[in-house]
Amino acid sequence: MLITANLPINRHKFSQQDQILTITGATWSDYQRFESQEYPGYRVSYFNGEITVVSPGRNHEKIAAVIDRLIIAYCEKYNLDDFPFGQTRLNLWGQAGREPDLAYAFNFDKDLPDLVVEVIFSSGNLETLKSSYRNIGIPELWIWKDNKIIFYAIEQNDYAVVESSRTLTRIKSESFVKYVNRGFTESPSSIKKDFLKDI
């Protein structure tokens, strides 16, 4: 703390943005050494010999919280049983590992989630992200980035962009993102009320 006290950085700016550390030339066993208990609040991923450690900023967490609130509200309205994974580490042994922002199984509990949601506030390789989850076997992936959200679903062993969710069928990306982006300035509770009227 004393070291950074006089540095010419904008602390408010950095608290709002994601902080990222990338380690190249890493092995699967290196990745396995990153225990969530030792790195609370961080998301650690592995793909193609690269470990990425992300410390989410406040804006990242705001958007993730709104998405979570709306998904749960949808499930409650339509009596859809949901089983959240949170940031449980999802692995394809030796090849890919990720700790998602949000993940859910629906109808009944499963070994892998039906839906994973990722919020990106920093530069990142979308193809790597998609390849990781495709290889792990996630059937549906939502990615929020730059005030847009794209829904992907597995078609012929690869992700294809879809307008409506395959699992939460009444949610369309174009209308959903308008509610999500209100999370920068509004309470999730008020956003949820308007969302429920729309669906």
- Among residues 96, 79, 167, 168, the alpha carbon closest in space to that of 134 is found at 96
Residue 10 lies in a domain: no
Question: Cα–Cα distance between 98 and 79 in angstroms, integer?
Answer: 29
- 8 Å CB contact between 167 and 115: yes
What was the pLDDT predicted at 53?
A: 87
Q: Which helix (H) or strand (E) holds 144?
A: strand 140-145
Question: Cα–Cα distance between 72 and 83 in angstroms, integer?
Answer: 10
Residue 122 lies in a domain: yes
Mean per-residue pLDDT, 39-68: 88
pLDDT at 123 over 80: no
- Among residues 82, 87, 124, the alpha carbon closest in space to that of 102 is found at 87
Residue 163 lies in a domain: yes
What was the pLDDT predicted at 5?
A: 45
Which residues are CB-neighbours of 83 under 8 A, at least 6 positions away? 104, 105, 106, 108, 109, 110
pLDDT at 103 over 70: yes
Residue 30 lies in a domain: no
Residue 99 lies in a domain: yes
The pTM of the full predicted model, rounded to 2 decimals, is 0.86
Q: What percent of the chain has pLDDT over 90?
A: 69
Q: What is the CATH number of the domain that holds 104?
A: 3.90.1570.20
Split at pLDDT 50, 70, 90, the class of 22 is confident
Residue 67 lies in a domain: yes
Split at pLDDT 50, 70, 90, the class of 17 is low
Question: Cα–Cα distance between 96 and 92 in angstroms, integer?
Answer: 5
Mean per-residue pLDDT, 80-107: 94
pLDDT at 113 over 60: yes
Residue 162 lies in a domain: yes
pLDDT at 10 over 90: no
Domain span including residue 84: 57-198
Question: Cα–Cα distance between 169 and 106 in angstroms, integer?
Answer: 12
Residue 27 lies in a domain: no
- Count of domains in the chain? 1
For the ranges 12-26, 44-58, 124-138, the lowest mean pLDDT is seen at 12-26
Helix axes 188-198, 173-181, angle to 10 degrees: 160
- 95 C-beta neighbours (distance < 10 Å), count: 14
Given CA atoms 24, 117, 119, 35 in this order, what sign does their dihedral have?
Answer: negative
Question: Cα–Cα distance between 49 and 171 in angstroms, integer?
Answer: 36
Mean per-residue pLDDT, 57-65: 91
What was the pLDDT predicted at 167?
A: 95
- pLDDT, one tens digit per residue, over 67-84 is 999 999 999 999 999 999
pLDDT at 105 over 50: yes
